[in-house]
Amino acid sequence: MADAPLFADLGNRQCRRCGGIKPLQDFPASLRANGNVKFGSYCRPCQKAYQHEWYLAHREEALVAAAARREREKMNRPPKPSAPERLPLPEAIGFRTHENPRVQGDAGLGVAIAYFSRVGVRVGIPLTDSQRYDLMIDDGKRLARVQVRTTTARQGNAYVVGLKTVGGNKSQVITKVFDPAAYEWLFVVCGDATAYLIPTTAISARYSIFLGRKYEHFRLEA
């Protein structure tokens, strides 16, 4: 067998753990600050075995170090972005009940786009209507999904808003109840020109909500 230095000249190295002479590509490599490549002393299988042995011998220390690292990363995370600022909506003019619910929905969508644009939030409209949300908004810190609803139905002195969606075809009707994970905001436009911007985390109902005292602080116009 040839000497180890001869193998090294040909691009091989002897593992200091198992003693085998293997190609350099079988050894872990790292890049030095001066631009040179440094190859490890152990081949990859031996390096893996060594790391496993070290972990077993220093398991408690490793767990403590990992927990401390996660805590540092948590402390260094940027704060969660605030919700879009709620401002009065004086220019909303309301709308009447339309025979075609899509027309009424378009009216509400227009009010929502006007509001977000006025307060400096960028608005995006999905290319299709297969998703559960109607708009995407960007306040400069994050993107969020918005479902727009309209209502002219009253129960006492407050409006009632349906949350479920009904679709399908002539042979099958599919009803989907409210899912708070489907979007982040519910924008409601009422027939008297009042509007609400409600985070879905504040909604516990599945089929409809009553815009009474519970949602009053989400109202955009008094």
Q: What is the structure's pLDDT at 6? A: 41
Residues 50 and 147 in one domain: no
User: 15: closest CA among 26, 1, 6?
Assistant: 26
- Scored b (16 or more CB within 10 A) or e, 87-119 reads eebeebeebeeeeeeeebbebbbebbbebbeee
| Tokens of residue 20, six digits | 């085998």
| Residues 131 and 210 occupy one common structural domain | yes
What is the Cα–Cα distance from 20 to 15, expressed in whole angstroms? Answer: 5
- Average pLDDT score over residue span 170-197: 85
Is 94 a member of any domain? no
Yes or no: say if 105 and 201 are a contact pair by the CB < 8 Å rule. Answer: no
**Which of 220, 135, 140 has its CA nearest to residue 184?**
135
Tell me, yes or no, whether 121 and 202 share the same domain.
Answer: yes
Q: Given this model, what pLDDT does residue 170 score? A: 64
| 160 in Cβ contact with 148 (< 8 Å) | no
Same domain, 63 and 105: no
What per-residue confidence (pLDDT) applies to 7? 42
Phi/psi at 3 (5° precision): -70, 155
Q: Kindly report, residue by residue over 65-113, the tens digit of the pLDDT.
A: 999 999 999 888 888 767 666 555 555 555 666 777 778 888 888 889 9
> Whole-model pTM above 0.75?
no
Residue type, 206: R
Q: What is the pLDDT of residues 119-177, one digit of tens each?
A: 889 999 998 878 889 999 998 888 999 999 998 888 888 899 988 877 656 666 677 88
Average pLDDT, the chain: 84
Domain count, the chain: 2
Are 13 and 115 in the same domain?
Answer: no
Do residue 108 and residue 154 come from a single domain? yes
- Give the CATH number, domain containing residue 47: 3.30.60.130
Structural domain contains residue 82: no
Residues in the chain: 222
Region 195-213 average pLDDT? 91
In this structure, is residue 139 part of a structural domain? yes
**Domain membership of residue 11 as a residue range:** 4-76
Q: Are residues 48 and 105 in the same domain?
A: no
- Give yes or no: residues 161 and 214 share one domain: yes
Q: Are residues 63 and 139 in the same domain?
A: no
In this structure, are 115 and 197 located in the same domain? Answer: yes
